[in-house]
Structure formats: structure tokens, C-alpha cells
Amino acid sequence: MRKRGFTLSEEARVKVLSCCEKVCSLEVSGNGRFCRNLIENAILSYADRVYGGNASGPEQVSGLRLEAPDIIMPKNVKSKRKGTPIGFRC
């Protein structure tokens, strides 16, 4: 996220942590791909919020700041996977 010049509002940071906690509590938790998908989806949501849909234009931009509504749990997160889990088990 920082490499792309974005920051998080405090509400967005709390929502990101909540999403990560939910994934960590699953039987088969995600990996770095989950985090990448979470941030990429947030950036797409930001672009739609600022430049698309009901936005009135770039004058709404107050820096590249992700807000809580931009943070959406990736759709590919599942509670269980069929077959052998990926990674190491202790």
C-alpha cells in the first residue's frame, strides 16, 4: 500500500485488522495473497469512490487515503478448503 503512495485512515486501519483477525481464526488461514487482495480491492474501491460513479471529480481527492468503506473482505476467503492444506502444519 505504501509503495503505491496510499495511507489508511484510523477507521480503515481498524477494519483491516478486523479482516485479518477473521482470516486468522479460520481453520485454513490465508497468506500474503490475502493481504495483497485486500489492499488491491481497497485501491479499486478508492478509485471508484473518487473518480467513478457518484464522484464529482478529482477535487475530492485529499491525498491517497483509504477509508473504512474501501476495505472489503476478498470474496475468495473460505472457511475450509477441500483436500490437503497448503503450507506446513505443526
pLDDT in tens, 46-69: 999 888 866 555 545 557 999 999
pLDDT for 68 equals 95
pLDDT for 52 equals 81
pLDDT for 62 equals 57
Residues of the chain with pLDDT under 70: 27-31, 53-62, 78-90
By three-state DSSP, how is residue 82 classified?
A: coil
34 contacts 77 by C-beta, under 8 angstroms = yes
C-alpha cell at 90: 505443526
CA 15 from centroid of its chain's CA atoms:
9
Question: How does DSSP classify residue 54?
Answer: T
Closest CA to 34 of 86, 89, 90: 86
